[in-house]
């Protein structure tokens, strides 16, 4: 018998093989974000039904004074943002800090140099004189680096309820990793989408325009493009469920029929039974009890919290 061995040249390839040969099948939501996916996520953030953006924008806009006051330190501070994106919400805070002549530097961290270049340009244009020092790399590489050479107070900021893509054990690991890079006076400022009317949550992930469906299905287009595959994307259905007991929203792609997909670059044939699923994303919703449990497990404490007028969303401030 001869066995052909193919060497996977990226973790994307490895993860696709693992996810599509497992039962049940899954693909990680981190692979949503190629150029097309980034654009679709921007479109999602602009939809009124995707309330998370407006809620967090409201919190930052209406409570910037109190938020800034909690960040301040005698020798100033470094505001380190993980996963900065287009910075729409962050800029409100940056503008306020700059207007108040508060001593701080802004260090956005992103894996994409492209994103960082665009952000730097727009921040410098809108907030002249700001000290912005983009750091390219994964969160942990950069946080480790900063912990080793940085002495002034750090405020680590993660907006957008991005932590919600992680199951609780991974979320604890993420918080713990951040905690390990913190000095005693450092803070974490992080957004957590809250449990609410389940219908509101379903509507946020199941818009009639089909933008979220396109975002979810983009991972199949991406496999087609990058791995020379032949997914018939229209033969998959975007399906969202929300469990109000656990607070977990889950996204699936459901095969509408029995079908076979060829992924040439991986020399892989994938069979789908009719109505077989690919799990693609979790978007966890929280309450105070769960957040304080996560914090406790990670060696952090809730120092303060800020919420919007509807109580849809909270930004927590954690200390060590
Ligand atoms: C960027 C992970 C916070 O889960 O709400 C939006 C991504 N997925 N619509 C979320 C997303 C579907 C979003 N996060």
pLDDT in tens, 39-55: 999 999 999 999 999 99
pLDDT for the residue numbered 2: 57
**Ligand 1 centre from 227 Cα, in Å?**
24
Angle between helices 113-126 and 88-99 in degrees, nearest 10: 40
For 238, the token pair is 């975007």
pLDDT for the residue numbered 287: 98
Residue with CA closest to ligand 1 atom 14? 162
For 14, the token pair is 């490895």
pLDDT for the residue numbered 5: 76
> By the 8 A CB rule, do 77 and 97 touch?
no
The whole-angstrom separation of Cα 63 and Cα 219 is 37
For 74, residues 6+ apart whose C-beta sits below 8 A from its C-beta are none
Provide residues with CB under 6 Å of ligand 1.
44, 52, 160-162, 164-165, 205, 212, 215, 281, 283
Residue with CA closest to ligand 1 atom 3? 162
The whole-angstrom separation of Cα 85 and Cα 293 is 28
> By the 8 A CB rule, do 191 and 159 touch?
yes
DSSP 182-194: --TT-EEEEEEEB
Residue 161 Cα: closest atom of ligand 1: 3
Residue with CA closest to ligand 1 atom 2? 162
pLDDT in tens, 200-243: 999 999 999 999 999 999 999 999 999 999 999 999 999 999 99
pLDDT for the residue numbered 156: 96
**Ligand 1 centre from 107 Cα, in Å?**
23
pLDDT for the residue numbered 9: 86
> By the 8 A CB rule, do 57 and 88 touch?
yes
Helices (H), the chain: 11-21, 35-45, 51-62, 64-71, 88-99, 113-126, 139-149, 168-180, 198-204, 211-227, 288-297
Q: Ligand 1 pocket test: which of 28, 54, 86, 164 has the largest number of ligand atoms within 8 Å of its C-beta?
A: 164
Residues of the chain with pLDDT under 50: none
First to last CA, the chain: 58
> By the 8 A CB rule, do 216 and 240 touch?
no
Q: Ligand 1 pocket test: which of 252, 281, 286 has the largest number of ligand atoms within 8 Å of its C-beta?
A: 281
pLDDT in tens, 273-302: 999 999 999 999 999 999 999 999 999 999
DSSP 2-63: --------SHHHHHHHHHHHSSSEE--GGGG-SHHHHHHHHHHHTSTT-HHHHHHHHHHHHT
The whole-angstrom separation of Cα 311 and Cα 196 is 8
Any bridge partners for residue 36, and if so which?
A: none
Any bridge partners for residue 306, and if so which?
A: 315
For 150, the token pair is 């940085």
Q: Ligand 1 pocket test: which of 31, 165, 286 has the largest number of ligand atoms within 8 Å of its C-beta?
A: 165
């Amino acid at each position: 018998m001869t066995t052909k061995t193919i060497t996977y040249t990226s973790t994307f390839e490895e993860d696709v093989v693992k996810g599509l040969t497992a039962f049940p099948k899954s693909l990680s939501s981190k692979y949503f974000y190629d150029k097309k996916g980034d654009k679709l996520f921007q479109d999602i953030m602009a939809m009124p039904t995707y309330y998370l953006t407006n809620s967090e924008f409201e919190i930052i806009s209406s409570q910037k004074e109190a938020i800034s006051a909690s960040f301040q330190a005698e020798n100033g501070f470094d505001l380190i943002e993980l996963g900065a994106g287009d910075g729409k919400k962050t800029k409100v805070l940056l503008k306020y800090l700059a207007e108040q002549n508060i001593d701080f530097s802004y260090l956005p961290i992103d894996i994409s140099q492209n994103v960082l270049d665009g952000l730097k340009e727009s921040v410098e244009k809108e907030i002249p004189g700001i000290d912005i020092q983009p750091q390219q790399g994964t969160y942990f590489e950069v946080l480790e680096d900063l912990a080793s050479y940085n002495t002034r107070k750090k405020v680590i900021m993660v907006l957008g309820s991005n932590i919600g893509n992680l199951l609780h054990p991974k979320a604890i690991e993420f918080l713990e990793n951040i905690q390990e890079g913190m000095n005693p006076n450092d803070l974490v400022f992080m957004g957590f989408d809250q449990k609410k009317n389940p219908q509101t949550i379903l509507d946020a992930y199941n818009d009639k325009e089909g933008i979220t469906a396109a975002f979810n299905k983009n991972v199949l287009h991406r496999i087609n493009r990058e791995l020379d595959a032949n997914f018939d994307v229209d033969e998959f259905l975007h399906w969202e469920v929300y469990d109000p007991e656990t607070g977990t929203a889950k996204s699936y792609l459901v095969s509408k029929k029995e079908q076979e997909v060829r992924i040439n670059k991986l020399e892989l044939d994938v069979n789908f039974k009719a109505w077989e699923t690919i799990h693609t994303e979790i978007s966890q919703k929280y309450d105070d009890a769960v957040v304080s449990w996560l914090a406790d497990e990670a060696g952090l404490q809730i120092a303060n919290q800020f919420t919007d007028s509807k109580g849809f969303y909270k930004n927590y401030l954690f200390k060590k």
